[in-house]
Structure 1
Amino acid sequence: MDAGIPAAGKTGPLAGLTVIEMAGLGPVPLAGLMLSEMGAEVLRVERAGSGPALLNLPAEYDLDRHGRSILRVDLKRGEGTELLLGLAEKADMLIEGYRPGVMEQLGLGPNTALARNPALIYGRMTGFGQDGPLSDRAGHDITYLAYSGLLHAIGRRGNPPVPPLNLVADYGGGAMMLIAGVLAALFQRSRSGKGQVIDAAMVEGASMLATPVHAFMAAGLWSDARGENLLDSGAPFYDTYETADARHVAVGCLEPRFFAEFARLLPLDQRFVHGQYDRTTWAAMRAEIAGRMKQKTRSDWEALFAASDACVAPVLSLLEARDHPRNRARGAFVKSGTLERPAPAPRFSQTPSTVAAAPADHDRRPQTVLKRFGMAESEIAALVKSGVIG
């Protein structure tokens, strides 16, 4: 909006967009980082007097704050609430990840904010949604995956479910769905001029990611038992195998022509090629593949399969991935000060994203931040003196 923070030289498809991010952990900060790297001006609002973060990272590694201006506000005071509502009047978006009712208790709920700015896009991120029997419950990625059914599906047959880091509910079903929601609302606002509230629940977002699996189950092509299906380590041609040097390779040759190429290079007995999807052969097929894989090192297998479509890849560690030739050639990792991290994604041909840096000193000064919203120096000085902002 014209009255918000000016673009300040930022580039990207969202240049000129103003976002208020209510400080938190996990998916909302990742959404804020991505919106910033796409060109939005993001103001991170932190509560005055709040305790240390769960992981007290040095500023150069704290991606929850990179690419933002920082404003610390005492939201227990009416002046702090009024200040934030005034900022929301001039913003395009507000995103928050508190439990349901917290923003309302602060006097900053969507009804109040949209009354002040009907064009505001108000993105809300929770684990269980804004209503329902579990809406006020605490949780983490593993909690939401448990309720979605996905945690049950991840792991090997006969073994307990395996948490997939916190990538699926927090970041896949959380941050990505929140971004999709606020950008869809931004498009709709371009037609109607009206903002709206986005209710992004991590349980539902994670479940949405598994929509094809539910379709497979309905068609009788997927078992509800763990480790018995094509994509969950049940199939010997979609799994990982240990190599001679105690490392691993990933095999993913689902299609018959890719499997035939895999079998030719491994080599694998042709009877398996002709009966790839015959489950009665899978135990013997797995044993033969495992035995072959133990005969060479991971590097040997990588070299052997490098020019093929057999869908075989070395299982790289996080550190190894940074230096792999494919990732170096694409610039998939970038330096941000002393931090090496994944490059912004996705990529845009006309309006490229930029790598967010840690906030500079001036990005933490309330005078600099609030001047961008058109506040007079005398007003800012009074708020600083009274302790409403710091």
Structure 2
Amino acid sequence: MPRSIVYWSVVVLLTIFGAYFRFPLHRDPGFPSNFDEQVYIAYVDRLAEHGIASYPAIFHDYVEQASKAEIVFLPPSRVGYVVPAWLLTRLTKWNSYEALRMVSAVGSFLFALTGFFFARRWVTPRMALAVLGLLICAPLQIHLSQFVFIDGVAAFWALLTAVSVWECFQQPRRLGWAITAGFAAWALLLTKQEIAAFVALFLIVALLLGKRLGFSTDRRPVFVALTCAGLLGVLVLVLTAGGVSVLGETFRIYIERSPQIPYAVKTGDGPWNRYLIELVLLSPLVFLLALCGIFRGQPKGSVGRYWLLFLVTTYLIMGNVQYGMNLRYTAMWDFPLALFAVMAISSLTTRRRHPVVWAAALTGVVCLMTFRQYNVIFRENALGQNLYDPIPEYMLRAVRILK
């Protein structure tokens, strides 16, 4: 049998496996909806009842209600998450919750496929296959597909933005990459503005270090694309909010009052190394291998430096947001961590007698152990129930460090 057939057969099997653990529900169907989930459901229900033209009224009601509410709730500015779910309710018989969860599942699924597609451009096909395996089995990615979480969708758009910008800098004359980068950045801005800000700051740093990263000197296409994406995104938000003042007031209320939410105060703070501890708890093998890959086996050219800069820049920002830290926000790191982990596996096995066999075996073990972490932490844990929010206390209890 030709090797290409075997290769693509494995790709198909992994894709089916990933789809199976994302699209069907693999948690307790009776698990009660979280407060944030109920907010998204209310937004979609409102659109389903009154149509898309009612979006400005939703913003006005938010300003009125959130300014008086004891606890501020999520703003309706997550247009890129709410509107696709509303469209699904019109095209299918799903209710608002089912439509929102399906959008989350699609985002997680596309994240894995996008990572695989671009990994094939930067590393060998076998290494790209290993990256796909790690992304398919990533505990956080699977978990984000099982609830009404916006984070997996935002992670997909963040990844597509970053990879498209890289390709655009390498091939500035191919305008398709600039258009893709602009569209992805626009969608990210409409989906989750906080993550869009983190990615934007990373891109600014990357532009400043363009020579060291091997970027082309012609950066006009990507600059124009990202600028237009930002302006168009702001325009759409202004139109859906019904005016600049309403949009500004919405953001002001949420930014000022969200750090005062009791749950955020209790669970959203910590030292600078909080995310490092959580990543070790969630995917210990992938995290440790990624550290090894950063120092021993970076991809050819400067792509490794690009993704290392992505991790460092976004970490420095996200790890210093008081009362605004949550492991869910790190979903976009799953791709560079998987890429560096595969580089480590390649580096550790390249001098073996049968390197391909050793690499395949080690990758398989890592995938199995990583998938097992999903079951241990999120499903079959010591809490005796499905875990909703992966905060440190719950994860420590899930793995039986805390009793």
Q: Which TM-score applies when normalising by structure 1?
A: 0.26
Structure number with the higher helix fraction is 2
For the pair shown, the structure with the greater C-alpha radius of gyration is 1
Structure number with the higher strand fraction is 1
Q: Which TM-score applies when normalising by structure 2?
A: 0.25
